[in-house]
Structure 1
Amino acid sequence: MPYPKIYVFMMLMSTNVRKSMVPDYPLEDALSSLRNSGLILFPTDTIWSIGTDAKDPVAILRLLRLYHLVESPQPVEILVDSLEMLKQYVPGLHPKLETLLLYHVQPLAIQVTNMDRLPVQLRDADVPVAFRLVQDNYCRQLIQAFGGPIASMFATFDGTRLPAHFGNINSDVVTSADLVVGLDVPAQKSGQPSVMIRLSPDDELEFLRE
């Protein structure tokens, strides 16, 4: 039985209203930088980070070199906009991880060892690598428009001050980026790093950072 026309109209109006509530952020400068091996300083759903093209070997080297003198290297988080994009880079994603990603309330990163679909420079780096499904509109729009994942590291070189706001970022971090973006993005950050987990050899969840 077909729906009445007025019902269909109301459904379409409701969908359009929901879409209009999500702002369209200016992304052109960020996209141009990412497409040219650039490093962007940008807000995420956790804290401010420095990001670059996760598929670009030159960009990955530039990102890692920023942190090569840090005593305790921080993990590289590969930001994706959807479960589908994640599965492109983590084939055979375990159902436990998939379920947790779908239902975990806090931002969640999963540490992986199979990185065959990432640049060798990242696979050979002596740093943990984790994938994170972003939860905020700005990062999601940026990744969707870019068409691929963004490799990110916290916007701090000493690891003691995690910047929830741009004003918390040290000047040496700001000047190390090619471009600062997202200054007009409303605060959506938790101010805390993501929860990080991995799957043990016997398929048990291990929480590395809570």
Structure 2
Amino acid sequence: MLIHIHPKNPPERLIRQVVEVLKNGGIIIYPTDTIYGLGCDIYQHKAIERICQIKGVQPQKANLSFVCYDLSDLSQYAKQLTTSVYRTLKQHLPGPYTFILEASKDVPKILKTKKDTVGIRVPDNTIARCIVKELGHPILSATLPGEYVEEYTDPEIIQEKFEKLVDLVIDGGIGGMVPSTIIDFSKGEAEVIREGAGAWEA
């Protein structure tokens, strides 16, 4: 199913419709401030496994990240952020970044890496953040499978390609082609893992 949601003023009714799908263990494809991604409720274990199947990866090796509503929401899922790390996050979020941080006990085990870290995003995208706010906790943020191609910017083409694999595709306008910049703070110092849409000054 493809639903059109206004990118700047998402109607509550449509956001609630998306959240119902997530609460029932469904998988969505949704817009962020970078590329369209696969998402589900982070507490729906089977939905996470389904996303890993779509991507053709083992959950333990998938390095999955998720979307929080804002910085105070993010703080719940990351272990004691130092003042300098918190300040850096505050400068860059919401924005096109994924930060790798030490995972708190609230992060589902399936989403933690062997090093007990987790990737967290707060995208500058109203639809994604409204979904998280209505759901009451984060949603998974996973890239679509295969190489990122130009047709993945068009929600209608995404719908044609993935309609049998996911429960809902959100059309929030044309998406980007460059993924988020990944910064690893798990060792205390910022380490750039992937240069993406977000500029980073060391």
TM (norm. structure 2) is: 0.77
1:47 aligns with 2:32: no
Deviation at 1:207, TM superposition (A): 0.6
Do the aligned residues in 1 keep the contact of 2:27 with 2:168 (CA within 8 Å)? yes
Structure 1 distance, partners of 2:127, 2:23, is 18
In structure 2, the partner of 1:11 is none
Alignment CA distance shift 1:166-1:186 (3 Å) = closer
- Residue 133 of structure 1, aligned match among 109, 122, 126: 122
In the aligned structure 2, how far is the partner of 1:54 from the partner of 1:64?
A: 13
Q: Tell me, yes or no, if structure 1 residue 198 matches structure 2 residue 184.
A: yes
Q: Deviations over 1:109-138 (max 9, x none)?
A: 111343532222223689x84100121111
- Confirm or deny: 8 A CA contact 2:103 2:118 kept in the other structure: no
User: Displaced runs of 4+ in structure 1, greater than 3 A?
Assistant: 167-174
Q: 1:116 maps to what in 2?
A: 105
Task: State the one-letter code of the partner of 2:27.
Answer: L
Corresponding position: 1:82 with 2:70 = yes
Task: Write out per-residue CA displacement over residues 60-94 of structure 1, whole angstroms, 9 at most, x where no aligned residue.
Answer: 22222222359xx7642210111111111113023
CA apart distance, 1:167: 4.5
- Which of 160, 163, 167 matches 1:178? 167
Q: Is the 8 A contact 1:74 1:153 kept in 2?
A: no
Paired-residue identity, %: 24
Contact (CA 8 Å) 1:52, 1:150: kept in 2 or not?
yes
Asked if 1:207 corresponds to 2:192, the answer is yes
User: Aligned AA for 2:132?
Assistant: I
Output one character per residue of 1:151-205: Cα deviation in whole Å (capped at 9) or x when no partner: 12112x1134263332553844343111112x1x345x4431111111253x221
- Provide the C-alpha distance between the structure 2 equivalents of 1:118 and 1:74, rounded to a whole number of angstroms: 15
Q: Are positions 1:57 and 2:45 aligned together?
A: yes
Report the alpha carbon displacement of residue 146 of structure 1 after superposing the two structures with TM.
0.9
User: Unpaired runs of 5+ in structure 1?
Assistant: 1-21
Shift of 1:147: 0.8
Taking a change above 3 Å as real, the CA distance of residues 114 and 170 of structure 1, as seen in their structure-2 partners, is same
Q: CA contact under 8 A between 2:16 and 2:134: conserved in structure 1?
A: no
Task: List gaps (5 residues or longer) in structure 2.
Answer: 1-7, 196-202
Q: Which has the higher Rg, Structure 1 or Structure 2?
A: 1
Candidates 148, 155, 158, aligned match of 1:166: 155
**After the TM superposition, which residues 146-165 of structure 1 pair with which residues of structure 2 at under 5 Å, given as runs?**
146-155=135-144, 157-161=145-149, 163-165=152-154
Residue type matched to 1:205 in 2?
A
Q: Which amino acid aligns with 2:26?
A: G
| Distance in 2 of aligned mates of 1:165 and 1:29 | 21
Superposed CA RMSD in Å reads 2.8
Determine the C-alpha separation between the residues in 2 that align with 1:141 and 1:118.
20
User: For residues 139 and 69 of structure 1, do their structure 2 counterparts lie closer, same or farther at Cα, with a shift above 3 Å needed?
Assistant: closer
Q: Normalized against structure 1, the TM-score is what? A: 0.74
